[in-house]
A and B are shown apart, each in its own frame.
Chain A
Amino acid sequence: MVAGTKDERGSKPVTNRSSAVVFFAGDSGDGMQKAGTQFTDTAAIVGNDVATLPDFPAEIRAPAGTVAGVSGFQINFAADDIHTPGDEVNALIAMNPAAFKAHIEDVEVGGIVIVNDSEFTKVNLRKAGYSEGYNPLDDEKFTLRYKIYKVPISRLNTEALADSGLGAKNIAQCKNMFALGLIYWLYDRPIDPTVKYLDDYYGQVKNLPEVSKANIATLKAGYFFGETTEMFPVRYHVSKAAIKPGKYRKVTGNEALAMGLVAAAKLSGKQLVYCSYPITPASNILHNLAAMRHFGVKTFQAEDEIAAVCAAIGAGFAGQIGVTGTSGPGMALKSEAINLAVMTELPLIIVDVQRGGPSTGLPTKTEQADLLQAMFGRNSDSPLVILAPQSPADCFDIALEASRISLKHMVPVIILSDCYLADGAEPWLIPDSCGLKPIEITHRTDPDGFEPYARDENLVRPWPVPGTPGMEHRIGGLEKQHITGDVSYDAENHQLMSVIRRRKVELVAKQIPHLQVHGESSGDLLVIGWGGTYGSILTAVNRAQQAGKSVSSAHLRYLSPMPGNLGDVVRSFKKVLVPELNMGQLRLLLRARFLVDARGLNKIQGKPFLVEEVEEAIDLMLGGVYGEREFLMPRHHQVRLEDQEYDLGGCQQDSAASIPM
């Protein structure tokens, strides 16, 4: 968004913008994630609010130059409070034809497209799937629509590093820094933080001073290219955001979650035992925690998903915090063991960083389709607690909250994060650890009158720890006799225990905050969501409210048990819209639980909602044109009634998106 004013900085005019969305796109090996991360860090350091969306292929190195191998990184940086990585790209950096092809449609009309002209060769155009003799850079369809700047980044980088002493391959690997330097110039960001990073990382950590020097040299070359060449008539400046003063760092969801778990361990005086099997996009929680041995963190890379959850249960039995992390396919494997924790009423935290499914699905793309799996995906009645973070930084708070509930209520807690939150980043106001509430845990040590399945006022059973004399007892997956915990097949007892297990989870609702409504507490439309869609929904609802529409929003961080006032909230609005990155899982629960005519906006594209998509759904709901349809799906970034039928070949679609009323 252009704010209008112009001033002079250096030799070029500078246009002030309130926000900008920059997208780095290139081959998997082109270092786009690094360039994007550096840009994000720098924007954060100079005081912008930031939100990011990394986007990379599931293959480590898909065939070079192909569309399948394109890796991208989107950054929204702003002078305002922002909650999403942005709908439209203002500036795209395309390092090769495939990157151009993959992402040109994301760019706003009139947007900036910087292409690495050196790579637009016949061979590369063919690899990108363009027909023989065609070059999109000569096509008016693009040249009239976008401001395309052809910069021979590869060649300029090679020339800048001709005397670096590096080989051709190493030189080529520096070209992301040339591109980054140019973007720093274009958006008036300082290069110093990246210079410092390159010096620390390559110079100190990797002990490759010549690589560090070369990267810094080409970063500067890129910056000076912008300044010197007549190519770019203006540059842009995004002022500092009015962010709450304090000390910040940028965090991704997975980083925040790892820190939250460590914090929970310290606050409860327990050891964190994190047991996991590598799986995208949860693996870097394991990596983060494995690097925290000096915080007393024990990580266990198990032989499979089942072993990971079982070891975490063993750790809980032995009196520590057992946590297992995974994604959807791993959740499916863990379900039997999660039920063991339900039956034995042991603390256990399960982190599910959701990705596109079913089956292997889309390993590196986001989705929030494991809600019903978390809720019901185990044999028999199996109540447990489910929480979902709403932003990358919120993963910290959710990890703390999950630990608190699990340890104090002797109940398994599932955290439903997602790929978008896990890899996405935002500024995090660093908390003072002294301000964090201790988690007080008592382990019964008095054998007098001890019964393993006696309960307190919250129906919580005691947690006596092996090693404690006189408290020897046996637990397991067989049904328990109420109070004694002995194995029992008694009919009435089984029903009683089923009621207790359910009631115990319901009682957790007493400890959790009521659902807050953003906006008026009643009105025409409530937009209610959960998890990683928070930013898109909030932004869309803010815009609707600014336009005078009677729309409020609410976001569920507690999905089981649900907040006590949820029924009153949804019944206070004439209409309810539930945007979800699945086929309508929360919608199903809300309809079943509260008999409310909730309608859906459902996107299953491996991508977060665009704000605009939610805005369109809001307008359709307010306009009463949803009609009989239970849900709508955005297609090609638009939500339109006429787009809802899919051509399924010979099979006539029986109005899948509508329900009989």
Chain B
Amino acid sequence: MSENKNDITRRHLLRDGLWGGCLAGLGGLAGFLVGKLKKTNTVWQIDPYTCIACGNCATYCVLEESAVKCVHAFAVCGYCKICFGFFGPEPVEINEGAENQLCPTGAITRTFVEEPYYEYTIDESLCNGCGKCVKGCNTFGNGALFLQVRHDRCLNCNECSIAAACPSGAFKRVPADEPYMLKEAGHS
């Protein structure tokens, strides 16, 4: 600021030139980015057809309680009486007793609809996103249970900690106006 205007040296010229160059560079970068800009923001989501339900989602999320939860696509569900997402591998009895359940937090409720169909609903506040039920349902059932990033919880970190630890590369950035990758009936 104390520079005297009458006293222009080579150093000032150099500095002003560099300054202009930097400003032009930033402008150029801005122009380049304008070409690449996306109108909508992007958010993290799990591709349910790539996910292997390894269980990392439950532990790697930066949140104490993972932002990933199990989602049930009811339209895909077979409403099985013996659900492999609900019952553990060796249940004592086929009933809702805690010792028979696969879910470590008891987040799935089983309700009778009509013979022989049962409906399974997930209590999201209990689900920890471990994916045990997903694995069971995918291996023996229709695969109606799958993991999804729940956007009311997700912080949308620049680098998702779970994505970095995902062994199957199932984590993707998707446009924020279509933030879920739900399974639909008829997809094989």
Partners in one complex: no
